[in-house]
Chain A
Amino acid sequence: MQYFADLVISGLAIGAIYGLIGMGYACIYKATGVVNFAQGEVMMLITYVTASLLTLTTWPFWMGLVLAPAVGILVGIVVERVVIRPMIGRPSFAIVMVTIGLAVLMRSLIVLFWGSEPREFPGRGSEDVIQILGIGLYPVQVLAFLIFISAAAAAWAFLRYSRLGIAMRATALSEQIAMLMGVDVRRISGLSWAGAAALSGLAGVLFASAAYVGPDLFAVGLKAFPATILGGLDAVTGSAFGGLLIGVTENLVGGYVDSSLKEIAGFVVIIFILMLRPNGLFGDRDVERV
């Protein structure tokens, strides 16, 4: 039982990171109808930049959690401006291909600039295990979970209540009509990329401070993809929840079945879930009046 609880709790911690990235996928997909396959690479870039900034300034670790979303917003806006905006109006498929190209390019540029040697995240949090309900956890795992909860709640409230959030949902439903309402859909696209990058930047710093900063960090983004498919590609808070589910499933499979299956557990789960619910657990089905 103790073993099970350990697996679930640490699964929730890694799931929180998947959830943050998953929200990013959903945020961009919802606003622009594009799956950003460079999400993991964007996260990696932000993590590297944040790590370098912390090293340069010798600021404490927690400043990284402030810097990462800030750097993320900047990276998101730049990528959207340079790569995505010129493609607006083209078929979604073409834009998705561009994000794949962008992913490969960013991976290579990062290795070119920072080298391929993994490094430690500067000033990583304390290694002292804290006990919660008899389960030992690293502080960064607790931190990841708390940040995840607040980000998910903030995203939910933003989309539900703020005028800009409603405009984002409206744009997702019909770009043309949103324009007729006075919404500049280019700004919505930029906003969604900035938001997604800020979320994945947080995820990257949290993950790297528990592990390391290395050129294979992008794989975390790939593993978060099942989370957003599971929760619904167009459901931002649903994707957050999907992240937790995938994280826990992975850990349980790794703990009870075989640790080599851990990597693919998430993908197996989505195959089964999508058979039952093609739009994901929380995805929108079309509203149709009978």
Chain B
Amino acid sequence: MLQIRNARILYGRAIEAVRDVSLDVARGRVVALLGTNGAGKSTILKAVTGLLASEDGEVVSGSVTFEGQSLLGQRPDAVMRHGIALVPEGRRLFTKLTVRDNLVMGGFIRSRGDFSAGLDSVIALFPALANKLDRTAGFLSGGEQQMVAIGRALLSGPRLLMLDEPSLGLAPLIVEEIFASLRRLRDERGLTILVIEQNARLALSLADDGYILENGRIMLDGTAAELAANPVIRSLYLGMTDGGTRHNLRDAAPMRQRVRWPA
């Protein structure tokens, strides 16, 4: 569905944010893109949505295609009409508008009938929002704001939903709730999802496939189960120890070398 091939992304024609990234999001799959701060995760999403241009970034080589059509050079409002929705990092609601108006904006490209049906299904997914529609969005709790952000993205009727750090700044219980709703979206509606996370355990528990991004390169990819079983991932991203051998950062360097060119 979404295909990125050997993308290299520069900011200001000079600063390399992404060196060489290829990834596939197949229809109906949930794909997790993992990596530490500054690895280039958000930049990849911006390359897909077209927001890169407004931050003086550019995909200088490689390709980004959605269902065979290139997305490069398209404006964000054109890209989203292909059926791609983004839940941005930090939620980025229209804080001074009401919850309802935020959701109306989510359904901006749809007909009125589609919107009210969509609104009903968002309320079904997040019942907590039912009696908060006329509240100012900026005054909701963080978890509720995340629900509005996801609901807003869903109202455009996307076939691919992308989420940038949905767990950021939320209490663990709320995060569980948000991820449970993402699971429902996958199971009940067969929505294709690309999720960026720093919390690898959480993301791998949801995802079918995963990619590990380090310093602008994909270091490792595989099914979520394979990644969760990989000793390096377990040690560096999941904070687990295997049979008493603790990997520390000194061990990590050679192990990363090894995964860079998998056999």
Please list the residues of chain A having a beta carbon within 8 angstroms of any beta carbon in chain B: 89, 163, 166-167, 169-170, 173-185, 284, 287-289
Contacts and interface: CB of A to CB of B under 8 A. Distances in A.
A244 B124 CA distance: 47
Interface of B: 49-51, 54, 75-77, 80-81, 85-86, 88, 92, 94-97, 101, 104-106, 108-109, 136, 138-139, 152, 156
A169 B50 CA distance: 22
Nearest to A160: B101
B113 to A, nearest CB: 13
Contacts of A181: 77, 80, 105-106, 108-109, 152, 156
A170 B97 CA distance: 8
A174 B90 CA distance: 13
Given A163-B108, A181-B105, A287 B96 contact: yes
A180 B86 contact: yes
A175 B49 CA distance: 14
B105 A289 contact: no
Nearest to B86: A180
B49 A287 contact: no
Contacts of A287: 95-96, 136, 138-139
B194 to A, nearest CB: 15
Contacts of A182: 77, 80-81, 108-109, 156
A70 to B, nearest CB: 28
B105 A178 contact: yes
A166 B139 contact: no
24 contacts: A166-B101, A166-B104, A166-B105, A167-B105, A167-B108, A169-B96, A169-B97, A170-B97, A170-B101, A173-B95, A176-B51, A177-B88, A177-B92, A177-B94, A178-B105, A179-B54, A179-B77, A180-B49, A181-B105, A182-B108, A182-B109, A287-B95, A287-B96, A287-B138
A284 B96 contact: yes
Contacts, number: 76
B74 to A, nearest CB: 11
Main secondary structure of the interface of A (DSSP, over half): helix
Given A89-B54, A181-B80, 16 more contacts: A163-B104, A166-B97, A167-B108, A169-B101, A173-B95, A173-B96, A174-B94, A176-B76, A181-B77, A181-B105, A181-B109, A181-B152, A183-B77, A287-B136, A287-B139, A289-B138
A220 to B, nearest CB: 32
Q: Which 10 residue pairs of A and B lie closest in terms of their CB atoms, listed nearest first?
A: A287-B138, A179-B76, A182-B109, A287-B95, A181-B105, A173-B94, A181-B108, A170-B94, A179-B77, A170-B105
A179 B156 contact: no
A170 B109 CA distance: 14
A178 B136 CA distance: 17
B139 A289 contact: yes
Contacts of A184: 75, 77
A15 B54 CA distance: 41
B104 A169 contact: no
A74 B81 CA distance: 29
B97 A180 contact: no
A169 B85 CA distance: 21
Nearest to B56: A89
A132 B81 CA distance: 56
Nearest to B87: A180
A251 B105 CA distance: 43
Contacts of B139: 287, 289
B108 A169 contact: no
Contacts of B136: 287
B43 to A, nearest CB: 15
Nearest to B92: A177
B168 to A, nearest CB: 16
Of A163, A166, A177, A284, most B-chain CB atoms within 10 Å: A177
A286 to B, nearest CB: 8
A177 B148 CA distance: 14
B51 A179 contact: yes
Contacts of A169: 94, 96-97, 101
Contact of B76 (A89, A180, A288): A180
Nearest to B152: A181
A175 B75 CA distance: 12
Contacts of B96: 169, 173, 284, 287
A174 B96 CA distance: 11
A170 B138 CA distance: 13
Nearest to B95: A287
A170 B137 CA distance: 12
